[in-house]
Every structure is written in C-alpha cells, then in structure tokens.
C-alpha cells in the first residue's frame, strides 16, 4: 500500500506544493500584491495560508490519484486541471480578487503542474 498509494500521493503533493509556491511567491507575487493593494487589501502570505495551500495540494493529489483509476494520464490531467484551476479562477475572478494579468503565465504552468502530478502518481 505504501509504494502504490501513499508514496505516489506524497510525491505528487510535494510537486504540487513546490509548483504553487514558485509560481505564486516568486514568479507572480508582484501581480498578486499589486492587485490586492489596489483593492485595499494585503496579499495573504502568512504561514497559515501556506499551510492551507499544503492541504489543497494534498487534496488535489488525492483527487488525481482517484481519477487515474478510471482515466488515462492525459484525461486525468485535463479533468483535474479544469476542476482544480479553472473552477478556482472562476470563483476568485467572480469575487474580483483574481489578477487576470497572471493568467498568461498561470495557465500553461498549471497545465504542466496537473500533467506532471498525474505522471508522478
């Protein structure tokens, strides 16, 4: 069970967490910070926010693991990307807290994230 379930989910969770951190804290932090500042808010980057993203990464990896039982890697990557990212962007966009300027970078990077997470599992 460890090698077939826990280890792949854990490895994928680590990949997803690193991908999210690099994308949002290094590549796109200025976009997020400027957008939140224009809204009169500060971009949430306290340790608790990082912990919640860690939980999100774990849930996302588990979801990918479950989807891979029924679908191919490519199908799983597409389905998980739509439900993990597109749906999130629709919600945060609707709440006006999504800086749309990130999407040209976030879309291809998140597709890569979903596809590699499925491959890892």
51-74 pLDDT, tens digit per residue, is: 999 999 999 999 999 999 999 999
With 0-12 / 13-18 / 19 or more C-beta atoms within 10 angstroms meaning exposed / middle / buried, residue 26 is exposed
pLDDT band at 78 (very low <50, low <70, confident <90, very high): very high
Q: How much of the chain, in percent, has pLDDT values that exceed 70?
A: 100
Q: Which residues contact 19 (CB under 8 A, 6 or more apart)?
A: 109, 112, 113, 116
Query: What's the predicted TM-score (pTM) here?
Result: 0.94
The structural domain count of the chain equals 1
Mean pLDDT of the chain, nearest integer: 96
pLDDT tier at 45 (50, 70, 90 boundaries)?
confident
* Residue labelled with tokens 């280890």: 7
Please state, in angstroms and rounded to a whole number, the distance separating the CA atoms of residues 80 and 98. Answer: 20
Question: Cα 93 vs. chain centroid, distance in angstroms?
Answer: 16
- Residue 1 confidence (pLDDT) above 90: no
> What domain range is 109 assigned to?
2-120
Percent of the chain with pLDDT strictly greater than 90: 95
Contact 68, 76 (CB under 8 A): yes
Tell me: the pLDDT tens digits for 94-110?
Answer: 999 999 999 999 999 99
């Amino acid at each position: 069970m460890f090698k077939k379930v826990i280890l792949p989910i854990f490895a994928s969770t680590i990949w997803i967490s690193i991908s999210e951190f690099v994308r949002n804290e290094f590549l796109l932090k200025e976009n997020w910070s400027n957008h939140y500042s224009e809204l009169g808010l500060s971009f949430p980057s306290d340790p608790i926010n990082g912990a919640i993203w860690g939980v999100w990464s774990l849930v996302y990896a588990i979801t990918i693991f479950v989807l891979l039982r029924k679908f191919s890697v490519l199908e799983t990557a597409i389905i998980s990307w739509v439900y993990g990212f597109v749906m999130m962007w629709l919600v945060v966009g609707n709440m006006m807290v999504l800086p749309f300027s990130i999407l040209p970078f976030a879309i291809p990077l998140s597709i890569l994230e979903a596809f590699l997470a499925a491959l890892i599992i």
